[in-house]
Amino acid sequence: MSAGSLGGSAGRIAPLAWPVFVGQLSVLAFSTVDTVLVARHSSLDLAALAVGAAAYVTVFIGFMGVVLAIGPIVGQLFGAGQLPLAGRQLHQATWVALGLAMVGSLLLAFPYPFLALSRVTPEVADKVRGYLLALALSLPASLLFTVYRGFNVAVSRPKAVMALQLGALALKIPLSAALVFGFAPLAIPSLGVTGCGVATLIAMWAQVIAAYVVLRRDPFYARFELRARRLRPLHRPSQRALLKLGVPMGLAILIEVTAFSMMAIFISRLGSMPVAGHQIAANLVSLMFMVPLALSNATSTLVAQRVGASDMRDARRLGWHGMLITIGIAVAMGCAVYLARESIARIYTPDPVVIAATLPLLAFVVFFHAGDAAQTIAAFVLRAYRIATVPLMIYAVSLWGIGLGGGYVIAFDVFGITPPALQGARGFWFASTIGVAVAGFGLGLFLIWVLRRQHTNERRTLASQSAAKGDE
């Protein structure tokens, strides 16, 4: 099988994708474990988890996107063989992560805007505050580990990240169980949803400490000159490069995630049962999303490395093949989950009322997941070329304008014309499905334009060089 074939590209993408997938699956398992445990604790705690998780994701994901600009930058430097320079970017990204953590922790510790938007009852609001206070203390660790993750994936070493993420999950599961329900032998009281936040706090700081030890002791990192005991001073050109790419990346990811997470806040106005059903459906879709996310990460890493090595033809080929593989797998997964939707819903909860609220939402899963996969792989390939501003504008129109804004209009029947079948949570999912489809189509067209323009410029350059040689 040739390296330039679809199978050859799949053989190059898979070794990078599967550790990213397993690692991201373990990250998502944090929220999955919390959802399953809290669903069995009380519906009020589950409603608080839905609102609190939406608030945390809104803050964390946007800032995470800025920090992850380290990936394309280090990937290109790694492909070009500039290893010490690549290592310096880890120090610069760490400064960015620390600055963003200060702002994000304050937002989570004082979550009044999120509570005002959700209009939850005072009892639920108290539970949300306790949960988010614990997550405010865990945010610095989460962003610092994001730096470690972005660097390692960019240098084709995702297994190091995966091992630490699995270790954190192994710590998180028993901690969450003990803190949610209480553990009498150790005199641990039942904390409900707040216990989930405390468990995350402990697991995330243990994970980032372990990452620091690995960076200090693993000889792999010596060639990147990472063993300095102190952070390198701020380097303005590096900071500008990180922020120039990271800010639009972060805003784009923020739009992508908030268009989905804000649904939970608005749906919470409909009552605890609709938001509980949405939380289960959202968690399932997020679980599925780990596959296209892993494939997109792997494809983007390889494309960035080939761009750094000035092998633009191979970079284009990997990008196209990555898109075909990712979208094809997403369609197959969506169909499988749709067929097994009732059995899957029962895994989350035995409550027939919550199951009844969940099943209609899963009817959208085939189209939603396919569109989500398409927009994700296109955006990641564009980031490998350090292009993030135009995708940001496409996201704003499709995901916020059509998905979230349109969902609000449909779900709450703002104009009095929404059919009963689309009112409530189903209206949000209907509009969001259209939004991700538009985003995937728009980003795909833009990527085609970028690659064709690049190919045309290469041909012109070669023609000019040939003409110059002929004149000689």
Cα dist from 132 to 136, 137, 368, 408, whole Å:
6, 9, 29, 25
Classified as helix, coil or strand, 250 is helix
Give the residues across from 183 on adjacent strands.
188
77-132: per-residue pLDDT in tens?
999 999 999 999 999 999 999 999 999 999 999 988 888 877 777 888 888 999 99
Q: Is 190 left (phi over 0), alpha (psi -120 to 50) or beta?
A: beta
Q: Nearest CA to 240 among 386, 83, 75, 385?
A: 386
Pick the range with the lowest mean pLDDT from 207-211, 213-217, 275-279: 275-279
Give the pLDDT confidence score for residue 320 in this predicted structure.
92
61-86: per-residue pLDDT in tens?
889 999 999 999 999 999 999 999 99
400-455: per-residue pLDDT in tens?
999 999 999 998 888 888 888 788 888 888 999 999 999 999 999 999 999 888 87
Quick one: tokens of 201? Answer: 């706090």
Query: What separation, in Å, do the N-terminal and C-terminal C-alpha atoms of the chain show?
Result: 42
Quick one: tokens of 88? Answer: 């310096």
Give the pLDDT confidence score for residue 44 in this predicted structure.
84
Q: Domain residues of the chain, as ranges? A: 15-471
What is the percent of the chain where pLDDT is above 90? 56
Give the pLDDT confidence score for residue 345 in this predicted structure.
82
- Residue type (1 letter), 32: T
Give the pLDDT confidence score for residue 348 in this predicted structure.
79
Give the pLDDT confidence score for residue 421 in this predicted structure.
78
> Is the per-residue pLDDT at 472 higher than 60?
no
Give the Cα separation of 8 and 378 in Å (integer): 20
The average pLDDT across 252-264 equals 81
Give the Cα separation of 92 and 232 in Å (integer): 7
User: Length of the chain, please?
Assistant: 472
Q: What is the mean pLDDT of the chain?
A: 88
Q: Nearest CA to 211 among 150, 135, 291?
A: 150
168-211: per-residue pLDDT in tens?
999 999 999 999 888 778 778 788 889 999 999 999 999 999 99
Give the pLDDT confidence score for residue 245 in this predicted structure.
94
> Is the per-residue pLDDT at 254 higher than 90?
no
In this predicted model, which residue has the larger pLDDT, 278 or 385? 385
Pick the range with the lowest mean pLDDT from 282-286, 294-298, 400-404, 443-447: 282-286
pLDDT level of residue 467 (50, 70, 90 thresholds): low
Give the Cα separation of 278 and 411 in Å (integer): 13
Residues 6+ apart with CB under 8 A from 278: 50, 263, 264, 267, 357, 358, 361, 425, 428
Positive or negative, the CA dihedral 249, 19, 180, 264 is: positive
- Residue type (1 letter), 75: G
Residue with tokens 């009892």: 123
> Is the per-residue pLDDT at 390 higher than 90?
yes
The average pLDDT across 358-384 equals 89
The average pLDDT across 293-304 equals 96
> Is the per-residue pLDDT at 162 higher than 80?
yes
